[in-house]
């Protein structure tokens, strides 16, 4: 995602995995992971008419040790047996993502990998897709679907997912068709309530949704394992604090799996100009009634609608309190604003909280920029145009290390923190001659 200034956003892309995680593996097991994903991507070359296998970095977040299947251009990685080993620089955030580093585009994945072979392959193939998606014609763009943090947005997404679960578990084609149709009815009704959702949801589904569908297909689960995977994925997703950046990991793979039974390579027929909702409805022969609201009222109880509404009303009341607290902390009270120059950020998309037109609060994030490294564990407000963030005021300044409530900032030498006497806010400036307050 690029703006007037250079901004590289490294999202922590999540592949839903449920198996117990193993301890960090040894060289031999990591070598086997590379062989495994190389084999299955070759077997799945027909999915996109290309082999997705490419440059991979497996990174241990505890010590930043990395293991690669290929050398880097600058030869900073050292060959051990048949893999390459090194240390990831502090300036690079660790995430499951695609990234440019030392002359190559890499798929970066955090260790440990899942013990479950399907989940492990799913994640690796997901991130490998991101390394080639631009060449396939799909841009990497992840605008928040903030309506999915509002009561009605969440209700009709949850109803859609409940209908999809019933479609997955259906025993007859008639029953499956009914639930699949109802899933789209809930989706279209949500789009009607929030007109902008038609585009914002589609952007994430063309990005993360297609990547997750690719991971699912390359993992090559059998029919029963696939059913259990999707049901478990939805059940786990529902428990996430927020849905605004992670819903597509469930919707696109499930709809895509239904469609591939009719058209095995439907994914090759779409482009960045397609709206996946319309594409799926047309190609799955779904008939959407004109009286959407009346239909929703008629069917919602079949999908735990009353319970979902009650839960979301309780959540809404709690969220209003949190939003008021964040408004006070990051906007109304004195705070610390940090502008971006050449930002790189990693965060967990499952727990962010939009606060209207003020921006989005990220409870945890790591930001690197020309000015240094910021680590946040107790919330930061990202402004809507992604040009700066707001955190609480500093409580401790020790040389170039600045600390506050749940955050620390390691500054580079030519930057300093000053207090604006008019607003009482703190700001970051690039000025060697400015004295520190």
**Per-residue pLDDT tens for 155-196?**
999 999 999 999 999 999 999 999 999 999 999 999 999 999
The rounded distance, in Å, linking the Cα atoms of 235 and 239 is 7
The answer to whether residue 277 scores a pLDDT higher than 60 is yes
Tell me what the mean pLDDT of segment 227-256 comes to.
Answer: 96
For the segment 345-354, the average pLDDT, to the nearest whole number, is 90
Note the helical H segments in 108-172. Answer: 117-132, 151-168
Q: Which residue, 297, 289, 312, 274, is CA-closest to 185?
A: 289
Helix (H, G, I), strand (E, B) or coil at 56: strand
**295-341 pLDDT per residue, tens:** 999 999 999 999 999 999 999 999 999 999 999 999 999 999 999 99
Pair (64, 177) in one structural domain: no
Name all contacts of 313-316 with Cβ < 8 Å and 24+ positions apart: 313/151, 315/151, 315/154, 316/150, 316/151
Q: Is the pLDDT of residue 18 over 50?
A: no
Q: How confident is the model at residue 26 (pLDDT cuts 50, 70, 90)?
A: confident
Domain shared by 355 and 298, yes or no: no
Of the candidate ranges 129-143, 198-212, 355-369, 371-385, the one whose mean pLDDT is the lowest: 129-143
| Structure confidence at residue 433 (pLDDT) | 55
Whether residue 8 lies inside any domain: the answer is no
Number of structural domains, the chain? 3
Judge whether 9 lies within some domain: no
Q: What is the mean pLDDT of residues 280-301?
A: 98
Q: Edge to edge, what strands does the sheet with 78-80 contain?
A: 78-80, 83-87, 65-68, 56-59, 104-110, 97-101
Token pair in block for residue 53: 């296998």
Note whether 188 and 270 are same-domain residues: yes
Look at residue 3 and tell me whether its pLDDT is greater than 50: no
Write down the pTM of the prediction.
0.90
Of 132, 164, 190, which residue constitutes the final position of a domain? 132
Q: What does the pLDDT read at residue 325?
A: 96
Same domain membership, residue 151 and residue 123: no
Query: Span 109-127, mean pLDDT?
Result: 97
* pLDDT of res. 25: 63
Note whether residue 312 is domain-resident: no
Looking at residue 15, its pLDDT comes to 40
Whether 196 and 107 map to the same domain: the answer is no
In this structure, the answer to whether residues 240 and 170 fall within a common structural domain is yes
Q: Is 226 within the bounds of a domain?
A: yes
The pLDDT value recorded for residue 4 is 34
| Cα distance between residue 108 and residue 92, in whole Å | 11
pLDDT of residue 348: 86
The boundaries of the domain holding residue 118 are 16-132
Q: Which of 106, 132, 158 is the last residue of a domain?
A: 132
Instruction: Give how far Cα 390 sits from Cα of 27, 330, 434, Å.
Output: 42, 6, 21
Position 206 scores a pLDDT of: 97
Is residue 166 located within the same domain as residue 275? Answer: yes
The answer to the question of residue 137 being in a domain is: no
Per-residue pLDDT, averaged over 121-138, amounts to: 97
DSSP 3-state assignment of 344?
A: strand
Q: Tell whether 276 and 343 lie within a shared domain.
A: no
Range among 138-152, 165-179, 343-357 rated most confident? 165-179
Give the torsion sign (CA, 220, 225, 228, 232).
negative
Looking at the fold, whether 126 and 60 belong to one and the same domain comes out as: yes
**Does residue 80 belong to any structural domain of this protein?**
yes
Q: Give whole-number Cα distances, 235 to 139, 161, 164, 231, 253, in Å.
A: 29, 9, 11, 6, 15
Is the model's pLDDT at 152 over the cut of 80? yes
For residues 159 and 293, state if they share a domain.
Answer: yes
Residue with tokens 């703006």: 3
Q: Does residue 400 lie within any of the structural domains?
A: yes
Q: Which of 132, 162, 183 is the last residue of a domain?
A: 132
pLDDT value at residue 8: 41
Q: Tell which residue, 330, 140, 151, has the closest CA to residue 243.
A: 151
Within a domain: 1 = no
Residue linked to tokens 């296998």: 53
Q: If pLDDT is split at 50, 70 and 90, which confidence band does 117 have?
A: very high
Same domain, yes or no: 364 and 422: yes
Whether residue 98 sits in one domain with residue 182: no
Tokens of 94: 């660790």
Is residue 432 very low, low, confident or very high in pLDDT (cuts 50, 70, 90)?
low
Helix (H, G, I), strand (E, B) or coil at 84: strand
Q: Which has more confidence, 301 or 432?
A: 301
Q: How many Å apart are CA 329 and CA 88, to the nearest integer?
A: 34
pLDDT over 90 for what percent of the chain?
Answer: 88
């Amino acid at each position: 995602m690029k703006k007037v200034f250079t901004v590289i956003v490294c999202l922590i892309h999540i592949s839903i995995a449920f198996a117990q995680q193993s301890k960090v593996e040894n060289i031999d097991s990591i070598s086997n992971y590379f062989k495994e994903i190389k084999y299955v991507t070759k077997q799945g070359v027909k999915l996109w008419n290309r082999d997705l296998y490419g440059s991979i970095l497996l990174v241990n977040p505890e010590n930043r040790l990395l293991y690669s299947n290929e050398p880097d251009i600058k030869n900073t990685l050292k060959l051990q047996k048949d893999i390459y080993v090194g240390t990831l620089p502090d300036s690079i955030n660790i995430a499951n993502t695609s990234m440019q580093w030392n002359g190559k585009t890499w798929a970066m994945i955090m260790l440990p990998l899942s013990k479950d072979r399907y989940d492990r392959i799913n994640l690796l193939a997901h991130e490998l897709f991101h390394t080639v998606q631009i060449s396939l014609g799909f841009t990497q763009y992840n605008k928040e679907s903030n309506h999915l943090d509002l009561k009605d947005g969440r209700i009709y997404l949850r109803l859609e997912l409940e209908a999809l679960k019933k479609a997955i578990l259906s025993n007859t084609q008639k029953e499956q068709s009914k639930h699949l149709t109802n899933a789209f009815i809930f989706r279209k009704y949500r789009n009607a309530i929030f007109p902008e959702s038609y585009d914002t949801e589609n952007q994430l589904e063309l990005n993360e949704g297609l990547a997750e569908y690719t991971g699912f297909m390359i993992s090559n689960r059998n029919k029963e394992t696939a059913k259990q995977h999707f049901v478990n994925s939805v059940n786990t997703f529902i428990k996430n604090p927020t849905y605004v950046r992670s819903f597509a990991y469930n919707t696109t793979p499930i709809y895509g799996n239904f469609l591939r039974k009719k058209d095995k390579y439907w994914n090759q027929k779409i482009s960045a100009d397609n709206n996946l909702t319309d594409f799926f409805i047309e190609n799955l022969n779904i008939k959407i009634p004109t009286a959407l609201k009346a239909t929703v009222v008629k069917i919602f109880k079949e999908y735990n609608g009353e319970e979902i509404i009650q839960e979301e009303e309780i959540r809404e009341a709690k969220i209003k309190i949190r939003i008021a607290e964040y408004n006070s902390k990051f906007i109304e009270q004195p705070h610390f604003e940090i502008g971006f120059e050449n930002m790189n950020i990693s965060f967990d998309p499952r727990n962010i909280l939009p606060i209207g037109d003020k921006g989005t609060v990220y409870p945890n994030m790591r930001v690197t920029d020309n000015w240094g490294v910021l680590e946040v564990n107790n919330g930061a407000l990202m402004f809507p145009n992604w040009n700066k963030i707001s955190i609480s005021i500093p409580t401790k300044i020790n040389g170039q290390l600045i600390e506050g409530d749940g955050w620390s900032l390691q500054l580079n030498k030519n930057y300093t923190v000053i207090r604006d006497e008019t607003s009482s806010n703190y700001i970051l400036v690039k000025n060697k001659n400015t004295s520190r307050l």
